[in-house]
Each structure stands twice: as structure tokens, then as C-alpha cells.
Amino acid sequence: MKVLLVASLLVACFVLSQGSTYRRVCYYTNWAQWRQGIGKYKVSDVDPHLCTHIIYAFAYFRDTDGEIYPIGGQDDIDSYAALVALKQQNPDLKILLALGGWNFGSLKFSNMVADDVIRGQFVKSAVTFLRQHKFDGLDLDWEYPGSRGGRPADKANLVILCQELISAFKADATATGKHRLLLTAAVPAGRGTAMAGYDVKPISESLDFINLMVYDLHGGWDGKTGHNSALLPSSADTGDDVYLNMNETAAWWNKSGAPKDKIVVGMATYGHTFTLHDPSNSGVGAPAGTGPGGKYTGQSGFWSYYEVCQDIETGGGAVEFDDESKVPYFVKNSLWVSYDNKRSMRLKADWLKAEGYSGFMIWALDLDDFNKVCSSSAKRYPLINAIIDQLGEVPATTPGGETMTTSGETTSEQTTEQTTEQTTEQTTKQTTEQTTEQSTQGTTDGGGEAFTCSGKDNGYYPHPSDCSKFYQCVEGRTFESSCPSGLHWDVKVNACNWPELAGCSV
């Protein structure tokens, strides 16, 4: 019996007899428990059904002997156990341990991978530590190979490290009869940093998936306002800044050798603050320095989403939406905040679905409105749920053996924010592989028939003379796409399907 291969995808990238879904990868930070008031976040605040993977950030290791250790000692160990216990409520949940992070830096990684003996000790320590604390895998958060004190040889040595880790994980699974430990990595958005430190194709062969850190793209360090996590470029971008956005970053990693079914795109539940030099000049690219820290998060130039939405709701400011980059910003006197809201998250979900990437990654759980303190939050974790609702997933099992389930919420949240949310708006970025944007006057096939989206509702439409093609209409604009080889467009489910199930007869 043949089953539906792809549902609810613009481009059917996952061709699996078992079905398809999206990875929902969420970072849990071990320092959020020390915040005060509504900012305090503990394992008891975690929804075990919200994410498919939770990554505990962070643990460290010694570069003298490769031994991994918890930063917070027994407090971290207790938190490990509490997170793993969530699997009693959701047996499909995967808990991973992130190693490194920004504060850990690059030098110790560089030292460890350069020494064959210490690297071997590190690999053994990884297996022992993960099994001891019942983790499901390891997330390498090396920031960054070849940079910040690293060496040019880091690029090749990272490949060796990944190969040795995955080999050890496979051997451990064979020896113990347990599920193989997962191996993932968090990687940068900056093209120069990525080119210097990552041999993308060979590391992709060892990694189960790759988390793209497509945030912190702009901040007060730029001396001007800019978006923290733009979907698309802005006309204010110059030089290499035109590549600092979600679409360009994901495309570069894919073209460099990371398959789309391993690319997980990072999304931020926080914003960056700026102080405008001149409040009368408040657009994107306006002269500005680093802004204030949040009341609860306390980091200069950094606000959680719940801090942003609270400040918006006090009044006195204005929310603008950048139609070029598809993200909002908030201006209040000299305060300028780049952040994401439910509208931008839905647009990013639409883009992710259209491009065929394997899922999204959240930094971080404790920065969304997990306590529902803002009146605009109709449910806990409004940003994360906006993505999940927009993707409209179904349960499935991936080829690597990971079972991933949904939160059980399939209807889109339609609440009103401070700005007017246009929930039917779709991204209009021209895709670079299978989708070709046509003019609003219509497209013409070989037989001379013209198709136009003018006057049509947003949505999908069959090609009039080719069963393997279809159109997407977005605000009157026409996008022509092709199904993967051998599949036809199925109007019954708005997805590519086996020809005998699609029933196309043009």
C-alpha cells in the first residue's frame, strides 16, 4: 500500500514512506533559573510537547584531557535529570547536551581537536557522560572554528572530530543495544566565519542535523539600527550585510553541501535594543548605539520577547513592520528594538515550508512569553506556537530513526497584536532552485495558455497542461513550481503525490 509522501509542503523535499514533519529544536539555558520575578525559568516551566528536541545549554570540557563536566555542578546534574524526566510525559522527546557556547570560546576546542590523544579522550568522555546522564545526543556549539583564537587547521580537524564522534556513537549503540546517540552542531550565519571554519559537506555526512544560528545579525556594535533576525535583505544593507538574513544563510549552507533535510533554521524569541542618536531619524540603518538591557534578562542591548511585548503594551511607542525584511521593529523616543512577533514568525514558517528545510530551532525557551504576561499572548509560548500552528504538522518518523510528534495544536492563532497582523500575508522572495517568479500578468505554457494570479485568492493552483507543475498565488503575484521527479500535484491535498493518487489527467 502506497501512502502520501508529502503533505502541506510547497516543495516536496522529504520523500519518506513513513510521512514527514518538522524538527522543533529548542534550547534550554541553565542560567535562566536565576532570573528574578517573571523572568525565572525552570525545568518545571517546560512544555514537554512543544518541541521535538530540547538542547541543554551548556556544558564545558577540559582541553588538557578532553573530560566533559557540568558548569553548575550538582545543580546542572539535577536539571539534567528533571529534563530527561519529561520524557515520561512525551516518550518521543529527545534531550541533547550542548557543549561550548559563546562564552566558552574557540581556543579550547581548537586545542582539543588538534591533539589526537586528547581528541580521543574527548570522544570517550562524550559517550560516557551522555549515557551516564541519559541524554539522547550531543550538540557541538563551537564558536567558531578558525576564529576567535582558533587555528586554520580547525576546519579539517572539525571534520575528523565529527567522524570520530559518530563512529563512536554507532559502536556504542551496537554494543549496548540502545538507540544511537544523535550528533548535531550549531553553526554561524556569517558567511566569512562559515567559510573559514566549516567544510560543510563532510561534516553534514556525520551530523544528524545542523542548527543555523540566524540571529544576532545586527546589534549596537554596528553603530546603526538593523534587524536581529531578518528573513530577507533590506535596502539599507550594504556590502556583505546583504547576506545577513535567513534566506541567504540557509541557501549558502545548502549550496555548500548541507542537505535541506538536515538544515534546521534558527529563530529568535528575543530582540536587540538600540539607542538612536537622533529620534527623528528612526528607520532601518539609522545611526544608533547599543540600547538598554531588559528588566529581567539584564543583558545590555538585549530584551526577551516578553519584555518587548510588555513595553509595547505600556503605550507611547510605535511598532513598524519592514515589508522588505519581513520583521517588525519598535520605536519609543530614542529606544529602537529589533525583534520578532507572531506575524513575522508565521511568515518565516511559510518560507521554511516553501523552501523545504527540515525544521526550526529556537533560542531560547525562556525568552518567549512562557508565562503569558502580555495581553497579546493568547497562549503560553506565543512565538513558538505561531510557527508550529503555521507549519501544520503531522506525526512522522525520519529515516534516521527519530520519532517526532506535534503539539496537537493545528489551528492558526488569529489574535490581534499591537500592529494589524495580516495572517494571510506570504513571503514573496524568489526561490533559487525550483520556484520561478513570474509577472502578475501571468505565465504562458507551451500551448499558449496563460495563467495569472490577478484577482485570485492566495493559495495553490494546478498547472493547466503539466501535472508535475503548480502555481502559488501570493497577493496577486504568480510563482510557478515543479514537483520532484516522478510526482504530480494533487489538488485534493495541495501537495505533490504519487501520480495514481494525485489523479491528474491534463
101-156 per-position pLDDT tens digit = 999 999 999 999 999 999 999 999 999 999 999 999 999 999 999 999 999 999 99
Local structure of residue 36 (DSSP, 8 states): -
Average pLDDT, the chain: 85
By annotation, the residues acting in catalysis are 143
User: Which residue, among 181, 174, 178, has the nearest Cα to 206 in the 3D structure?
Assistant: 181
CB 227 within 8 A of CB 322: yes
What pLDDT does 450 receive? 77
Name the pLDDT band for 316 (thresholds 50, 70, 90). Answer: very high
What are the boundaries of each domain within the chain? 23-268+341-404, 436-502
pLDDT average, residue stretch 237-263: 97
Planar angle of CA 216, 269, 40, nearest 5 degrees: 115
What pLDDT does 455 receive? 76
Report pLDDT digits (tens) over 174-229. Answer: 999 999 999 999 999 999 999 999 999 999 999 999 999 999 999 999 999 999 99
CA distance 38 to 176: 43
In which element (H, E) is residue 274 found? Answer: strand 270-276
CA distance 318 to 468: 46
Report pLDDT digits (tens) over 383-407. Answer: 999 999 999 964 333 333 343 333 3
Q: Which residue has the cell 520578532?
A: 340
CB 73 within 8 A of CB 114: no
CA distance 89 to 426: 35
Residue 15 has pLDDT above 90, yes or no: no
What pLDDT does 441 receive? 37
Domain 23-268+341-404 of CATH type 3.40.50.620: no
User: Which residue, among 218, 238, 242, has the nearest Cα to 229 in the 3D structure?
Assistant: 218
pLDDT average, residue stretch 6-34: 65
pLDDT average, residue stretch 352-374: 98
What pLDDT does 451 receive? 84
The CATH number of 436-502 is 2.170.140
What pLDDT does 393 receive? 63
CA distance 376 to 56: 29
Question: How crowded is residue 448: how many other Cβ atoms within 10 Å of its Cβ?
Answer: 7
What pLDDT does 433 receive? 32
In which element (H, E) is residue 506 found? Answer: none
What pLDDT does 322 receive? 98
What pLDDT does 192 receive? 96
Residues forming beta bridges with residue 61, ordered by sequence position: 68
Same fold, 23-268+341-404 and 436-502: no
Q: Exposure string (b/e) for 450-477, b if CB count within 10 Å is 16 or more?
A: ebbbeeeeeeebbbeebbbbbbbbbeeb
Q: Exposure string (b/e) for 414-425, b if CB count within 10 Å is 16 or more?
A: eeebbbebeeeb
What pLDDT does 288 receive? 98
Q: Exposure string (b/e) for 321-340, b if CB count within 10 Å is 16 or more?
A: bbebbbbbbbbbeebbbbbb
Name the pLDDT band for 303 (thresholds 50, 70, 90). Answer: very high
Residue 438 has pLDDT above 70, yes or no: no
CA distance 386 to 309: 15
Would you call the peptide bond into 144 cis, given omega within 30 degrees of 0 as the criterion? yes
